[in-house]
Amino acid sequence: MSSLDDYKACDAVATILKLADQYQVIMFNEAHHVPMHRAFTIQLLDDLYRKGFRYLAVKALTSADDGLQARGYPIRKSGLYLSEPLCTDMVRIALRIGYQVVPYEFEEETPPHQGDDPLADQRARESGQAKKAPRPNSGKRLAGKDSGACWAQPH
């Protein structure tokens, strides 16, 4: 195993944009309590769109708001985490750029707490979101041979 001395710091935006040429899906794992993560994602949206990415799948969005794409901005029923201003900005900016925004929040009723495992609800939610997550070329949420997908995952 190599030591940390074998690694060097590099510009994250430039590196991601360079790697985007080789991949169809880019995932951003964000913490919902750290708005700076969404600010970072916002920095990449224009350039990723220019590279052919057309979808932004956001776990924070629910399917309850069927007018989001046409309206161009989220509202209260768009999703719980959109009360955080940069999360709302990320979605609004993506829509303005031209992304097809895809919700994949787990919306089924989470099973009640079972036994002594305090993480049961969290595991059920995470599992549900993983099953609902869009997959390129699956014919489900991201259709056909579209040129790309940009997948943001506020976590």
The tens digit of pLDDT for each residue in 11-40 reads: 999 999 999 998 888 888 888 789 999 999
- The strand order across the sheet containing 25-30 reads 25-30, 149-154, 55-58, 100-103
β 25-30/100-103 pair status: unpaired
At 35 the pLDDT is: 92
At 82 the pLDDT is: 86
The whole-number average pLDDT for the span 89-96 is 96
Could you tell me which of 57, 51, 46 has the C-alpha nearest to residue 22?
51
Total-model pTM:
0.75
At 25 the pLDDT is: 83
The whole-number average pLDDT for the span 119-145 is 56
The whole-number average pLDDT for the span 39-45 is 95
At 40 the pLDDT is: 95
At 130 the pLDDT is: 60
Q: What is the number of other CB atoms lying within 10 angstroms of the CB of residue 59? A: 24
At 127 the pLDDT is: 66
CB 153 within 8 A of CB 103: no
Give residues with Cβ within 8 angstroms of 41, minimum separation 6.
28, 30, 90, 152
The whole-number average pLDDT for the span 42-61 is 91
The residue with greater pLDDT, 121 or 34, is 34
